Amino acid sequence: MSLDPTSRVYVAGHRGLVGSAIWRRLEAAGFTDLVGASSAELDLRDREATFAFLAEHRPAIVVDAAARVGGILANRDHPTEFLSDNLRIQVNLMDAALAVRTPRLLFLGSSCIYPKYAEQPIRESSLLTGELEPTNDAYAIAKIAGIMQVQAVRRQHGLPWISAMPTNLYGPNDNFDPTSSHVLPALIRRFDEARRTDAAEVVLWGSGTPRREFLHVDDLADACLHLLQNYDAPEPINVGVGSDVTIRELAELVARVVGYTGAISNDLSKPDGTPRKLLDVSRLLALGWKPSIDLEDGVAATYAWYLEHAS
């Protein structure tokens, strides 16, 4: 599907981890009419404001990278907000895009949509085949509803909207907050603080045995552009690297990058979450895309960004 680089593209959530990476990738690809609005300028939970914004700008392409996101602690403690906020953001944005007949829309979900005990690696066909991980089921249900809305619009209105399910993401503009961050930025912050204070040990949540897949956000952005150009089907498509590491291995990698040489222990009273979450990315690879950023290189670059911007 050929994309005109002069087409207007609205990137919802353009200041976040994902949206800012997509914005950079579109600029690098020569797109000249990018539209964004901060949450202070446009609250996507406000239906009337969202409709007015889309009616004013009438984008040819919408990338929905706007969401309330957080790690296992934030999801566990605030399921009401994760469900309500994300449902409203998605429904308002897609309804408003439909009202102006936006030709192309990419909805970004999450790998947490899949059942907790899905067969590994997780194929797209695993969706709705089993129970969800309880620590983030509210967020997952919201994202599943987004997939369903994309499919409903395709079926009823014939618009070539698509959805993609990224694995765990990291990179510049990540959230390093100690209470709401995901595991990788949380580890970068904690190991950096431990190095600075000469702490004797860093304690990990859980057993350290769960396995996770990590994709640099710049690779995701490249995949999003590739999908906008090459994918048109109702089924969501996985975006990942096709390999994973244990949380313990990840912690040791971060410690090595940061330069922390103390002990690493585990707090077994804390939850592990899903035992393993590795995506089957064979459909994406068959479209001619593959990731290019090695995990250790990506973590090193993210740590450098953290030292410059967030510490």
Say whether 306 is catalytic: no
**Unique residue bearing structure tokens 């209470």:** 179
Helix (H) or strand (E) holding 105: strand 104-108
CB 238 within 8 A of CB 291: no
* Angstrom distance (rounded) from CA 308 to CA 311: 7
Catalytic residue among 10, 114, 117, 139: 139
* Angstrom distance (rounded) from CA 163 to CA 109: 7
CB 264 within 8 A of CB 221: no
Q: What is the 3-state secondary structure (H, E, C) of 57-101?
A: HCCCEEEECCCCCCCHHHHHHCHHHHHHHHHHHHHHHHHHHHHCC
CB 107 within 8 A of CB 165: no
CB 288 within 8 A of CB 222: no
Return the closest-CA partner of residue 127 out of 149, 143, 104, 108: 143
Active site residues: 139
